[in-house]
Chains A and B, each alone.
Chain A
Amino acid sequence: MTGSNQTTTQTSDLLLRALVELRDTFAATQEQLSADSLDDFSRLFEGGRRLETMLARAAADIDNHDLMNIFAAIRGYAELLQEDLGEQQVQLSDSLARLLQALQSAQPGSGKPRDSGDKRVIESEPGYILAVDDLKENRELVARNLSRIGHFVVTAASGEEALRALEQSDVDVVLLDLLMPGMDGREVLRRIKEHPDWRATPVIVISGQQDMDGIIECIEAGADDYLFKPFNQVLLQARIKAGIERKRWHDREEQYRQQLERNEKFIRATFGRYLSDEIVTDILERPEGLELGGDLRRVTIMMSDIRGFTTLSEHLAPAQVVTLLNRYLGAMTDIIMAHQGTIDEFIGDAILAVFGAPQHRDDDADRAVSCALEMQAAMAHINEVNAAEGLPVIKTGIALNTGDVIAGNIGSERRSKYGFVGHAMNVTSRIEDLTAGGGILVSDSTLKSLKGDFQVGDCQELKVKGIEESIVVHQILGSAP
C-alpha cells in the first residue's frame, strides 16, 4: 500500500470514519446485543485500533502483510456480525455495510474489485424463494444471502421435499441443485415443468462448472437460468431478481386473463338470459357496439301473451303465479333462442322477441313462424305439468309482424338496453290483441316474407289506431303438410 497516494489516503479516511460511526452506533445499541455479538464487536474494534495505529505510521513503515491481515479480520467480523444481526439491528447493519464498503475500496493489494468480495446488493422486489440443495451449508448460505436482501427463503434438502414445498406455497423462484441423492434436480425440474400450476415458476439450476452438459440439458428441459458452483452472491441476487420479475409478470398476466374470463362469464350469465349467444358474443367482441345508437333494420317481431292471465292470477297465490310464469317463460325462452330469436323483454306474461337483429338472416320470418308453431306445440306439455300440480290450464296467443324498426342501444347512459322502436312494433301489439288463445296471427308482410310453405288459414282485416290503412292478418295453422 502506498500511503502517500492521494486516493489511498482518502479511502483510509473513509475507513476510519466508518469505524468511528460504527463505534457510536454500537455504543447506542450494545445493551440489546448477545454475548457472542458483543465479543465479535470488541474484537472488531481491537482490529480497528490496530489499523488506526498502523495507518498513523509513515507509509514506508507499514507492513503490507500485517495490514492485509487486519483488513481481513475486520472484514470477517463485520460480515459475521451482519449475518447475525441482520434486520433486527438495522442501524448497526447499515453501519457495518458502510464499513465493509470502505474496506472494499481501501483493500490493500487489490487494484480492481474482486468478484467474491463484491458487496453490491441487487435491489429487488421481495420474493418467495425455494432453495433445493442436499448440502445444509449451501442451503444456509443461500438462505442467508437472500433473506438479507428481503426475500423469503424456504429450503428443501431433497427433490421430494422440494415438491412438497411447492405444493404448500406459491413459490416465485426455485433454486435447484442438480446433483442430489434420491430424486435429483433433473427429475424435480421435469415435474415442475409438467405441473399445470408450477410450469410458470422460474427455475434456476445450480451445478458444478464441470457439468456444462447437465446445464444445457436442463435449459432445454425448461430451466430458466443457471449458476455454476461456487456461485457469486451478487450474480445469484441478480438472477433471483430476474426470476421474480418474470414470475410477477406472468402472475399479472394470469390475473388479467382470469379477470377477463370472469367478466365474460358475468356478461354471458347476465345477458344470456335475454339475448342469444350470438348477441352476447357480438357485444363481447365489439364493446363499442354497446354505445347508444342504432340502425334501421327489417325484422320479424313476435309478441305473445297468456290469454286472460290477469284474471287467472287473481285466483292464485303469488308463489303459484311465479311458478306458472317461470315454467311458461322458461320453456318459451328455450324455443325462441333455439330459433335464434332475440328476446327483447318480458312484460309480466308477455314476451317481446325479434328475429333479424342484431343479425339479419334471410329466413328470419320463416324461423319466427316455425318458432311460434313450436311454442304452441309446447303448451300441451306445460299444461300437463300444471294440471298435475293443481295449476290452471293456460293458453297463449302469438302475433308476428315484419317491418322496419330501429334496433340498437336505447336509453340513457345509466340505463340502456338493446331494444327496438318503430311503428311496426305498435302494429304487432294490435295484432296480438286480436289473437285467440292457442292461435298464431301473422301480418301480410310476414306472410310475404316467408320462403317456406306453411298451412295458412283465414285472413281478416284489421283497423289500426293511428294509421290510415287497415292491415291484413293471416292465421297460421301449421307447417307445410
Chain B
Amino acid sequence: MTNLAPVLLVEDNELNRDMLVRRLNRAGIEVIVAGDGQQALDAMVSAQPRVVLMDMNLPVLDGWTACRRAREDQRISHIPIIALTAHAMESDRLNALQAGCDDYATKPVDFPGLLIKIEKLTRA
C-alpha cells in the first residue's frame, strides 16, 4: 500500500526549500513545508506526512531536538524522518541517527538517491 500523504520538507533557507519543493513536485510528490523545528512538529501532528525531510540546522528548534521530540510524541513517532545534514561529516550523520532519524541525505542532496530513500521508507 502506497502512502499518499504529503511529504513534509523542513528547511529554513527559502532558496533551497523552493528548489526541493519544485523538484519533488516535478517527481509527482506533494510537499508541505515548515521553516523551523517547532513548525515541523506542529505540521507532523496536523498533516501526518508520510515522511519528513528535515534540515538539521534550523532556527527556533534545531533538527536534532525536533527529531528527538517527535520520537517521544506518540502521535507522530511512527513518521519516518530523513535528516538533511549540512556537511559530509560522519558525526553529523551519527547525531541525526542517534536523534531518531531513519535515514539521512547529505546536502547538496543527490536527488535521485533522495527519491529512493523516500520510496524505501514509505513502502510497505
Residues in chain A within 8 A of chain B (CB atoms):
36, 40, 43, 46-47, 50, 65-66, 68-73, 75-77, 79-80, 84, 103, 107, 109-110, 114, 116-117, 135, 137-138, 141, 144-145, 229-230, 233
Given contacts A46-B15, A72-B19, 10 further A-B contacts (CB under 8 A): A47-B19, A68-B87, A69-B13, A71-B108, A76-B108, A80-B19, A80-B26, A109-B87, A117-B108, A230-B112
Given contacts A65-B86, A137-B27, contact A76 B19 (CB under 8 A): yes
Please measure, in the bound complex, the distance between the C-alpha atom of A116 and the C-alpha atom of B117, giving whole angstroms.
13
The total of Cβ contacts below 8 Å across the A-B interface reads 87
Q: Could you tell me the distance in whole angstroms from the C-beta of B92 to the nearest C-beta in chain A?
A: 10
- Residues B113 and A116 in contact, CB atoms below 8 Å apart: yes
Please measure, in the bound complex, the distance between the C-alpha atom of A321 and the C-alpha atom of B62, giving whole angstroms.
106
- Residues B110 and A70 in contact, CB atoms below 8 Å apart: no
Q: Could you tell me the distance in whole angstroms from the C-beta of A456 to the nearest C-beta in chain B?
A: 94
- Residues B18 and A73 in contact, CB atoms below 8 Å apart: yes
With CB as the reference atom, state the residue of chain A lying closest to B11.
A69
**Does B106 sit at the interface, judged by CB under 8 A?**
yes
Contact partners of A230 in chain B: CB under 8 A: 112-113, 116-117
Chain B contact patch, size range: 20 to 34
Contact partners of A47 in chain B: CB under 8 A: 15, 19
**Does B119 sit at the interface, judged by CB under 8 A?**
yes
Given contacts A110-B88, A137-B119, contact A72 B22 (CB under 8 A): no
Please measure, in the bound complex, the distance between the C-alpha atom of A50 and the C-alpha atom of B115, giving whole angstroms.
28
Lowest 10 CB-CB distances: which A-B pairs, in order? A72-B108, A116-B110, A69-B13, A76-B19, A73-B15, A109-B87, A69-B16, A73-B16, A73-B19, A230-B116
Interface on chain B toward A: helix, strand, loop, or mixed SS? helix
Contact partners of A103 in chain B: CB under 8 A: 108
Q: Which of B22, B111, B119 meets A135, CB within 8 Å?
A: B119
Please measure, in the bound complex, the distance between the C-alpha atom of A171 and the C-alpha atom of B107, giving whole angstroms.
37
**Does B76 sit at the interface, judged by CB under 8 A?**
no
Residues in B1-36 with C-beta less than 8 Å from chain A: 13, 15-16, 18-20, 22-23, 26-27
Interface on chain A toward B: helix, strand, loop, or mixed SS? helix
Q: Could you tell me the distance in whole angstroms from the C-beta of A52 to the nearest C-beta in chain B?
A: 14
- Residues B23 and A109 in contact, CB atoms below 8 Å apart: no
Please measure, in the bound complex, the distance between the C-alpha atom of A135 and the C-alpha atom of B108, giving whole angstroms.
25
Contact partners of A233 in chain B: CB under 8 A: 112
Please measure, in the bound complex, the distance between the C-alpha atom of A46 and the C-alpha atom of B13, giving whole angstroms.
13
Can you list 28 A-B pairs with a CB-CB distance of less than 8 A? A36-B26, A43-B19, A47-B19, A65-B57, A69-B15, A70-B13, A70-B15, A73-B13, A73-B15, A73-B16, A73-B18, A76-B20, A76-B23, A77-B22, A79-B23, A80-B23, A109-B88, A109-B89, A110-B88, A114-B88, A116-B110, A116-B113, A117-B110, A137-B27, A141-B116, A229-B116, A230-B113, A230-B116
Please measure, in the bound complex, the distance between the C-alpha atom of A338 and the C-alpha atom of B15, giving whole angstroms.
90
Contact partners of B107 in chain A: CB under 8 A: 68-69, 72
Q: Could you tell me the distance in whole angstroms from the C-beta of B88 to the nearest C-beta in chain A?
A: 5
Contact partners of B87 in chain A: CB under 8 A: 68, 109-110
Q: Could you tell me the distance in whole angstroms from the C-beta of B116 to the nearest C-beta in chain A?
A: 4
Please measure, in the bound complex, the distance between the C-alpha atom of A80 and the C-alpha atom of B92, giving whole angstroms.
27
